[in-house]
Amino acid sequence: YYFYALIFLALDVVVVFLYPWAVYVRQLGGWGVVTMLVFIAIVIVGYIYAWKKRVLEWK
């Protein structure tokens, strides 16, 4: 179950970073949008990796 806990924590960290970004997105400008897109891309790559390793399947 620890893989599920790690993925849950990773997604919680994403939410913690996305909320303040969404509040200040207009003030951050283009660079803020680009950095957040890179952050989201890294999280998605990690999620796809976990999916391909079949971590997300119940056994």
Domain that holds residue 45: 2-52
Q: How many domains does the chain have?
A: 1
pLDDT at residue number 8: 85
- Identify whether 59 is part of a domain: no
Establish if 57 belongs to a structural domain. Answer: no
Within a domain: residue 58? no
DSSP string covering 12-57: HHHHHHHHHHHHSHHHHHHHHHHHHHHHHHHHHHHHHHHHHTTTTS
Predicted structure pTM score: 0.71
Give dist(CA 39, CA 15) in Å, integer. 12
pLDDT at 4: 77
pLDDT (tens place) for every residue of the chain, 59 residues total: 777 788 788 888 888 988 988 898 889 889 989 998 999 899 889 889 888 988 777 77
Q: What is the pLDDT of residue 41?
A: 94
